Structure 1
Amino acid sequence: MAAFLSQEWFDKVDELTAAAGDLNIPPAVAGMVMNVTVTGAPDGSVDLALNGGNFERGHNASAGTKLILPADMLRKIFLEGDAAAGMQGFMTGQIKVEGDMSKLMTLQSARPSEQQKALFKQILELTA
């Protein structure tokens, strides 16, 4: 087990993602680039980018949208697939959006492929 968003966690996620091969990313998400700043992670704030359906470390200069949210909310939405938590977080101000909000709507309506669901399950199992 690795602490969520720790360096060890990112290293293990990179290994699992590489081993997973083609994730059959939905077309609406495949071309999307969105920056994410996560607060409350074990090592403080963490900058990520959602790029083509995969998370990468650091922000991407080509992103036109940025999400700011707490680590527990990121875990619920992306790893546990809890869409209701995302809506609740947005409505209560826990999730802040800067830039093109239509990207967030696209992301909300996209359904993960079976390959993505299997990868998310593996990631969740290694996450402390």
Structure 2
Amino acid sequence: MNQIVTELPFGEGELHIYIDTSQGFLDMEIGELENPDITIALDYATAKALFVEMNPQAGIEAFMAGKIRVTGDMTKLMSLQGAMPQNGADIIGQQIKDMTD
């Protein structure tokens, strides 16, 4: 799954993050997968709430408000609900947090 984070507070452009499950666990890194099953676009505030503050309710609210746009296989996205990234998520979360401190 690729994630595109928009409306960055530190300049123009986008932040590209991916979650890879091909090894049997969730691996979250900066960059993009070549052929993702799902691509999610969300704004910076929503990404921060989800990945730094670990607030799943913010994700639900943002999706219902149209702040999260999904392309690809929604069933695969639904299967990831509740799963937590094992590798890299804490580093990416800290990098996002550092950008706003």
Please state which band the TM-score falls in when normalised by the shorter chain: 0.7 to 0.9
Structure 1 pair 92/63, CA: closer, same or farther in 2 (3 Å)?
same
Which structure 2 residues correspond to residues 47-66 of structure 1 after superposition, within 5 A?
A: 47-51=16-20, 52-57=26-31, 59-66=32-39
Higher helix fraction (1 or 2): 1
The answer for the alignment partner of 2:74 in structure 1 is 101
Which structure 2 residues correspond to residues 2-21 of structure 1 after superposition, within 5 A?
A: none
CA offsets per residue over residues 24-51 of structure 1, 9 Å max, x none? Answer: xxxxxxxxxx011111112322222222
TM-score if structure 2 supplies the norm length?
Answer: 0.72
Identity of aligned residues (%): 27
Cα RMSD of the aligned pairs, angstroms, is 2.6
Count matched residues. 91
**If you compute each CA radius of gyration, which structure gives the higher value, 1 or 2?**
1
CA offsets per residue over residues 56-78 of structure 1, 9 Å max, x none? Answer: 22x21131100000011001011
* Preserved contact between residue 19 and residue 28 of structure 2 (Cα < 8 Å): yes
Letter in 2 for 1:61: E
TM-score if structure 1 supplies the norm length?
Answer: 0.59
Structure 1 pair 111/49, CA: closer, same or farther in 2 (3 Å)?
closer
Name structure 2 gaps, 5 residues minimum.
21-25
Name structure 1 gaps, 5 residues minimum.
1-33
* Preserved contact between residue 17 and residue 28 of structure 2 (Cα < 8 Å): no
Counterpart pick for 2:64 among 88, 91, 96 = 91
